[in-house]
Amino acid sequence: RPSLVVILGDQLSPGMTSLSSADKHRDVVLMCEVEEETSYVGHHKQKIAFILSAMRHFAGELEEAGWTVDYIRLDDKANSGSFTGEVERAIKRHEPDRIVITDAGEYRVQEMVDGWSQTFEIDVDCLPDKRFICSKSEFEDWAEGRKSLRMEYFYREMRKKTGLLMTQADKPAGGEWNYDKENRKPAGDDLFLPKRQRFEPDRITAEVIEMVGEKFANNFGTLEEFGWAVTRQDAEKAFEHFLGAAAGDFGTYQDAMLEGQPFLWHSLISPYLNVGLLDPLDVCRQVAEAYEDGKIPLNSAEGFIRQILGWREYVRGIYWREMPDYRERNAMRAQRDLPWFYWSGETDMACLKAAIGQTRDHAYAHHIQRLMITGTFALIYGVEPRQVHEWYLAVYIDAFEWVELPNTLGMSQFGDGGILGSKPYAASGAYIDRMSNYCDNCAYDVKKRTEDDACPFNSLYWDFVARHEKTLKGNPRMGRIYSNWERMDEETQKALRKRAKEVIEGMG
C-alpha cells in the first residue's frame, strides 16, 4: 500500500523531508487548495494568487519528476474545504498505510496534523523541516537558562555554525559581527535605483488570478501589479537580479524610504523563502561568495545574511518556544481598534498613505516601513496587538504566522513585554523625516507638536511615553526619553496630551 505524502502550501521544495522519505514509484502526494487556508484571515488577493499558482506549478514539477500527485483545486466540487477533510477523502481514495508530512510552519496547522493519527487511526510520520538552519531543539538548547534572548548572540552562534562570513581563525570577517552602524543612510531619488524584476503571469497564473479576482473580490489589495515569480526557476532569477543590481547597496540604504519607490535595494525574496522556492542557506552562501569575490561590500553582505541567518531563524525559534499563548499577549494593554485607514489607505499622513498604498498594490512593504511607519503608528496610537497581528498576517505576500507574529506582536508592538526587543519601537515624526522624504509632501508639519497641523506621530509619541510611565520608566534604554519628558514644562506636556487625544478621537 502507498504512503500518502501531504505537501502544504508553504512546502514547495523538492528536498522536503516528507518527499525524501517516500518512494515516487509507490506513494501518492496530496496537495490541496482549501477554503480554511484561503480564509483564516482576509489575505491580500496577491498572496492567495501567489500561493495557489506556486502550488500548481510545484505539483507540475513533481509530476515531471515522476511523482503521482493528487491535486485538489479550490473549485473542485467535492472539496471539503479543510486539510483534515481532504486527508480523510484521500485516505478513502488511496487506502494508504501511513501519512507522511513535514512539520507545519504554523501552530494552528500543526495542531490539525497532530490530530490525524487518532482521527483516522493511521500512522502519521511527521518529520522535521530541514530547510531551517536552526532546528527547534537547537534553538531550545540555545535559549535554555538565558536571562535574555537577544538575537545578536543567537546570530553569532549561527555564523559560527555555518562558517558564513567567518575567517579561518573562526573570527568574523572584517573583525566585527555586525555592521549596522554603516547601514542607516537615507537615500536620494535618482536614476540609478535598481528596477524590480517582474514576471509576466503565465497561463496557470493568469487562470488563478482570474479565479481569485472573482472569488475574493472583497479581499484587501489589487491584482493588477502581480509580477511575482511562482516557480523555483524564476525565483532564482529574481535572486540573481538582486545580487547583480541591488545587493551592493542593500546595507547602506537598508533603512531608507522614498516616496514612489516601494522596493529600493531590497531583495523581495521573502515570499520565495517562505514557501520554499528558494533555500535560505543557499542564498546566504551566494551572498557571502559575492562578498568574497569582491562584488559586494561587507556591510551589505553581513546586513543581508543577518536578516536571514539571524532574524528569520530567531523569530521562528521564538514562535515555537512561546506559542500557543504568544498570540494573546498584550503587555502594553493596548485596546484601541485598528484605524480604518489601514484598510482603505485613506489618510492625509503621507508616510502611512505611501506604506499602505504600496501594500495594497504590491502586497509588499519593506522592513522599516512595516516597523517604523505602520508598526510605530499602531504602537503609539495604542492598537490592540491582536488586531495589528491580523492586519500584517493578511496584507503581506510573505505573511505566515511563524514569522509575522514575533515581528508584529513582539518586535513592533512590544506586546511580549520585551522578549524580542529591549525597548518599544516608539518614535516621533523626526525619525521618519530623517529616513525618508515623505514629510516633504504631507498635510502635516513634522516640526510641529501641538498645533492642528502638527504631525500626529509627535503628540502620540509623547502620549505613549506618558501613559506607559509605570511600565517603561525603569527600562534603562528609556531613561533619556523620560528625563526629556520630565524636563518639559507642565503646559507643554498638557498640550501634547490634548493634541494626542484629538488625533485619537479624530481617527476613532
Dihedral sign of CA atoms 329, 333, 334, 335 in order: positive
Q: How many CA atoms lie within 13 A of 6 on its CB side?
A: 30
The rounded distance, in Å, linking the Cα atoms of 428 and 430 is 5
The rounded distance, in Å, linking the Cα atoms of 53 and 59 is 10
266 touches which of ligand FAD, ligand DLZ, ligand SF4, none (CB within 5 to 8 A by kind)?
ligand FAD
CB atoms closer than 10 angstroms to residue 337: 12
52-74 CB burial, b ≥16 within 10 A, e <16: bbbbbbbbebbeeeebebbbbeb
Min CB(457)–ligand DLZ separation in Å: 33
Dihedral sign of CA atoms 493, 496, 502, 507 in order: negative
Min CB(377)–ligand DLZ separation in Å: 26
In sequence order, which residues have a C-beta less than 8 Å from that of residue 500 and are 6 or more positions away? 459, 460, 462, 463
Three-class secondary structure assignment of 132-179: CCCCHHHHHHHHCCCCCCCHHHHHHHHHHHHCCCECCCCCEHHHCCCC
Tell me: does residue 308 bind ligand FAD (CB under 6 A): yes
Q: Which of 134, 65, 132 is nearest to 273 (CA)?
A: 132
Q: How many CA atoms lie within 13 A of 124 on its CB side?
A: 22
33 touches which of ligand SF4, ligand DLZ, ligand FAD, none (CB within 5 to 8 A by kind)?
ligand DLZ
The nearer residue to ligand FAD, 116 or 342, going by C-beta atoms, is 342
CB 4 within 8 Å of CB 91 = yes
In sequence order, which residues have a C-beta less than 8 Å from that of residue 312 and are 6 or more positions away? 273, 280, 403
Min CB(420)–ligand FAD separation in Å: 9
The nearer residue to ligand FAD, 208 or 284, going by C-beta atoms, is 284
> For residue 368, how far is the Cα from the chain centroid?
12
The nearer residue to ligand FAD, 131 or 499, going by C-beta atoms, is 131
Dihedral sign of CA atoms 472, 474, 479, 485 in order: positive
Min CB(8)–ligand DLZ separation in Å: 4
Residue choice 29, 211, 403, 442 for contact with ligand FAD (CB under 6 A)? 403
Could you list the residues that contact ligand DLZ (CB under 6 A)?
8-10, 32-34, 37-38, 43, 48, 51, 104-106, 109, 400
Min CB(207)–ligand DLZ separation in Å: 15
CB 417 within 8 Å of CB 65 = no
Tell me: does residue 429 bind ligand FAD (CB under 6 A): no
Min CB(19)–ligand FAD separation in Å: 23
408 touches which of ligand DLZ, ligand FAD, ligand SF4, none (CB within 5 to 8 A by kind)?
ligand FAD
Residue choice 365, 439, 460, 495 for contact with ligand SF4 (CB under 6 A)? 439
- Please list every residue from 346 through 375 that binds ligand SF4, using CB under 6 A: 349-351
457 touches which of ligand FAD, ligand DLZ, ligand SF4, none (CB within 5 to 8 A by kind)?
ligand SF4
Tell me: does residue 408 bind ligand FAD (CB under 6 A): yes
Binding mask 442-461 for ligand SF4 (x = CB under 6 A): x-x-x--------xxx----
Judged by CB under 6 A, how many residues of this single chain contact ligand FAD?
Answer: 28
CB 394 within 8 Å of CB 220 = yes
407 touches which of ligand SF4, ligand DLZ, ligand FAD, none (CB within 5 to 8 A by kind)?
ligand FAD
- Please list every residue from 379 through 438 that binds ligand SF4, using CB under 6 A: 429, 432-433, 438
The nearer residue to ligand FAD, 260 or 506, going by C-beta atoms, is 260
Tell me: does residue 312 bind ligand FAD (CB under 6 A): yes
Tell me: does residue 500 bind ligand SF4 (CB under 6 A): no
- The torsion angles phi and psi of 169, rounded to 5 degrees, stand at -85, 15
Classify 323 in phi/psi space as left (phi over 0), alpha (psi -120 to 50) or beta.
beta
Binding footprint of ligand SF4 on the chain (CB under 6 A): 349-351, 429, 432-433, 438-439, 442, 444, 446, 455-457
Binding site for ligand FAD (CB under 6 A): 266-270, 273-274, 304, 307-308, 311-312, 315, 366-367, 370-371, 375, 392, 396, 398-399, 403-404, 407-408, 411-412
